[in-house]
Structure 1
Amino acid sequence: MSLQSIKYNRGSLEILDQLLLPVQSKYVAVRGVEDGWKVINKMQVRGAPAIAIVGCLSLAVEIYPEEFESKKSLRQEIEGKLNYLVSARPTAVNMKIAADELLSLANDLTKAEDVSVPDMKQRFLNATEAMLQKDIADNRAIGANGAQAILKLVAKSLGAAGASGNGSVRVLTHCNTGSLATAGYGTALGVIRNLHELGKLEHVYCTETRPYNQGARLTAYELVHEKFPATLVLDSMVAALLRAKNVAAVVVGADRVAANGDTANKIGTYQIAVVAKHHGVPFYVAAPLTSIDLQIPSGDHIIIEERPDREMTHVGEHRIAAPGINCWNPAFDVTPASLITGIITERGVFEPQELKEAITKLLEL
């Protein structure tokens, strides 16, 4: 059974505090938008899909007990709170897309003469709650599409790099993209989960993901929980790993994908893509359509969040860096489309150069 990072019942929201993992599993109550903003900004919840879901559900929890005099006042409350939530973590586009969709719904309901204030509130709550189940369904589709893409490559030459005699594969992933980063199942880790369900996962390697150690703390925690054959490696070992261990593919997540296929993901992703290209290892990005931002032409336009120095200088309360040293701590980097083999979505796997046209057609359907 996969881990549950989000617990929701109408009027009640709790999130698994990921700052305490893997030492302690503790759920934190989110009683409204202010709490939602804090747990996202402090990275008690993280992962682009989970950020959007927790942000929107925090608004649902806040408005659930409230009574509104008019649809206009409800719409104003929704708009102001959604704009505030978007500011918590600017790089992940999922929260912005979810906010735009919910605000559009609120605008339509406000204009509809046959919709009362209670009806408007009920429909808005239904829309936010539907995000949970949709995310899980999308993740399962991403997992199946990604696993098939990898196995198809391997099937072309059984016994080639990264494949055992029965077609099982060894894969590498970076950061955390599993149940702790989504509503459940996972994106890149969902691909790995699907490979395991098919009996085709020989081994998975996960990086530590310095400086915040999401790989060592969270991905490793999930892999142990699921009893997957897994090994943790330091970020600096990836080149040696790809040279020595016959890895079939690298699978990572994404916080934002630009129209040209450039991808923003956790810091350290770019260098893994470069090394994978050198070793001829396919490099896949797994992300829902909500992570694809066709309004941004390339990765040069993606805002990269910078985090506090302390994440680099300390491990817990213990200082590991020389006092007085300057720090540069971008939370993400951008991997150029030229290094990406395919972008795995719930609607299929696309080469970066075909992404914009393919997604535009899908959105028109």
Structure 2
Amino acid sequence: MGDQHVVTLANDSKGNPDEPLPALRWEEPPEGPVLVLLDQTRLPGEEVELVCTDVPALVEAIRGLAVRGAPLLGIAGAYGVALAAVRGYDVDEAAESLAHARPTAVNLAYGVRRALAAYRAALAGSAGGDPERAASAALAEARSLHAEDKEASAAMARHGLQLLAELLPGGGYQILTHCNTGALVSGGEGTAFAVALAAHRQGQLRRLWVDETRPLLQGARLTAYEAARSGMAYTLLTDNAAGSLFAAGNVHAVIIGADRIAADGSVANKVGSYPLAVLARYHNVPFIVVAPTTTVDQGTADGSSIEIEQRPGHEVTESTGNPVAPLGTQAYNPAFDITPAALITAIVTENGVVSPVTPDALAALCPSRAPGHDQVMG
């Protein structure tokens, strides 16, 4: 177990809807550098932060979902490598541990690889292998990734808003979203949520429908929290109530994020996304995925090749520690499901929009990167 402690949230942006939430930040107090995380498991009841002084603490926070969301996991992974380097720990061991903390979100391993590559390059290029210089290089790379993700978030919001205007002229959008895709998962204002937020700021959002997102309620706890902070018109619903909304004609578009996008355009996202895509297709409603190109894994050929994280059964059989099923009940609890490209109207990235979703069109928008979720070391 790593060195992790809790502090109350102290940030100038607290309660200010015009500023992104402080989901993650690097600090350098006198006792040494730390990575500070807004503990998302405590929201919306409490705004408290976890202070991680080593990589085991960060891995624990990632696995426990205190920090989550594909883009932010990439940033956290990069900062984790920098934390190990600056504090003099085994950087290769730290990178390996971080990269495999959660198996589905490709951004995590990507962020780790970037910081590790910068560390190794600086180490090899310095006289006598200067570890201090190498640590600085890893930290600089993590900060660069953080800044890039913020820029990507703003670009996705612009592209997504333009796409909505093309698909649904006239505004007054009623948008259904699933899980949480705002500032809590990003270096900026998010992915799918950022598009809805941009529509809200232009007076074009009539209603944001927020799926609870069972069993861990990321929609109820986190998306509703962000929507309330931003003054958006939103309504919370149970996941299985979505069909009645479609049938009543009250959903104009579904907009979700992604944890990994395969080369063929198949999307792994929070479990419950695939049923929404099926509903959207039946009701002729656009189904839009918003994700940065760092979420596209050209090394994963198709959806069937994506490893799906299986979460503990108690997340389903218990609620806040209280049983909701008979003792000994087995639970099926995949964290994600796969939506095939054929059900996706468009994928919005910082580099533009892919529609229709084809392997060639997707590859054309994505910069060349070393493929493979597991290829961290070597």
- TM-score, length of structure 2 as denominator length: 0.87
Segments of structure 1 that go 5 or more residues without pairing to the other structure are 67-73, 159-166
1:245: Cα distance to partner?
Answer: 4.2
> Is contact 1:170-1:202 (8 Å) kept?
yes
> Is contact 1:285-1:342 (8 Å) kept?
yes
**1:54 counterpart residue number:** 76
Tell me the distance in 2 between the aligned counterparts of 1:323 and 1:188. Answer: 38
Does the C-alpha gap of structure 1 residues 175 and 80 become closer, same or farther in structure 2, counting only changes over 3 Å? same
Tell me the distance in 1 between the aligned counterparts of 2:118 and 2:25. Answer: 25
Equivalent residue in structure 2 for 1:230, among 228, 231, 234: 234
Residue aligned with 2:348, SS: strand
The reply to whether residue 287 of structure 1 matches residue 291 of structure 2 is yes
Residue aligned with 1:19, SS: helix
**2:102 counterpart residue number:** 89
Q: Which amino acid is the alignment partner of residue 320 of structure 2?
A: G
What does 1:232-311 correspond to in 2, within 5 Å? Answer: 232-311=236-315
1:114: Cα distance to partner?
Answer: 6.6
> Is contact 1:30-1:58 (8 Å) kept?
no
Residue aligned with 1:349, SS: strand
Moved more, 7-16 or 215-224: 7-16
How well do the aligned residues superpose, as a CA RMSD in angstroms? 1.9
Tell me the distance in 2 between the aligned counterparts of 1:35 and 1:113. Answer: 30
Q: Which amino acid is the alignment partner of residue 326 of structure 1?
A: Q
**1:198 counterpart residue number:** 202
Tell me the distance in 1 between the aligned counterparts of 2:120 and 2:26. Answer: 26
**1:147 counterpart residue number:** 161
**1:342 counterpart residue number:** 346
Equivalent residue in structure 2 for 1:138, among 135, 152, 170: 152
Q: Which amino acid is the alignment partner of residue 45 of structure 2?
A: V
Q: Which amino acid is the alignment partner of residue 78 of structure 1?
A: V
**2:5 counterpart residue number:** none
Equivalent residue in structure 2 for 1:109, among 85, 109, 122: 122
1:105: Cα distance to partner?
Answer: 2.6
1:242: Cα distance to partner?
Answer: 1.3
Tell me the distance in 2 between the aligned counterparts of 1:199 and 1:275. Answer: 27
**1:164 counterpart residue number:** none
Tell me the distance in 2 between the aligned counterparts of 1:109 and 1:100. Answer: 14
**2:374 counterpart residue number:** none
Percent of residue pairs identical:
35
Tell me the distance in 1 between the aligned counterparts of 2:250 and 2:292. Answer: 28
Tell me the distance in 2 between the aligned counterparts of 1:98 and 1:352. Answer: 29
**2:24 counterpart residue number:** 6
Tell me the distance in 2 between the aligned counterparts of 1:56 and 1:352. Answer: 33
1:30: Cα distance to partner?
Answer: 1.0
**1:70 counterpart residue number:** none
Tell me the distance in 1 between the aligned counterparts of 2:362 and 2:152. Answer: 17
Moved more, 84-93 or 109-118: 109-118
> Is contact 1:261-1:352 (8 Å) kept?
no
Tell me the distance in 1 between the aligned counterparts of 2:356 and 2:52. Answer: 38
Q: Which amino acid is the alignment partner of residue 247 of structure 1?
A: V
The reply to whether residue 99 of structure 1 matches residue 112 of structure 2 is yes
1:246: Cα distance to partner?
Answer: 2.9
The reply to whether residue 327 of structure 1 matches residue 331 of structure 2 is yes
Tell me the distance in 1 between the aligned counterparts of 2:300 and 2:317. Answer: 33
1:218: Cα distance to partner?
Answer: 0.7
Q: Could you report, residue by residue, the CA deviation over 1:283-338 in whole angstroms, capped at 9, with x for unpaired residues?
A: 00111111000111100000000011110011102111122222111010000111
The reply to whether residue 40 of structure 1 matches residue 44 of structure 2 is no
What does 1:156-167 correspond to in 2, within 5 Å? Answer: 158=170, 167=171
1:32: Cα distance to partner?
Answer: 1.5
Segments of structure 2 that go 5 or more residues without pairing to the other structure are 1-17, 370-378
Q: Which amino acid is the alignment partner of residue 120 of structure 1?
A: A
Does the C-alpha gap of structure 1 residues 289 and 115 become closer, same or farther in structure 2, counting only changes over 3 Å? farther
1:131: Cα distance to partner?
Answer: 1.9
> Is contact 1:7-1:14 (8 Å) kept?
yes
Does the C-alpha gap of structure 1 residues 114 and 147 become closer, same or farther in structure 2, counting only changes over 3 Å? farther
Tell me the distance in 1 between the aligned counterparts of 2:217 and 2:63. Answer: 17
Aligned residue pairs total 346
> Is contact 2:263-2:362 (8 Å) kept?
no
> Is contact 1:32-1:59 (8 Å) kept?
no
Tell me the distance in 1 between the aligned counterparts of 2:128 and 2:140. Answer: 15
> Is contact 1:4-1:183 (8 Å) kept?
no
Does the C-alpha gap of structure 1 residues 275 and 362 become closer, same or farther in structure 2, counting only changes over 3 Å? closer
Residue aligned with 2:42, SS: coil
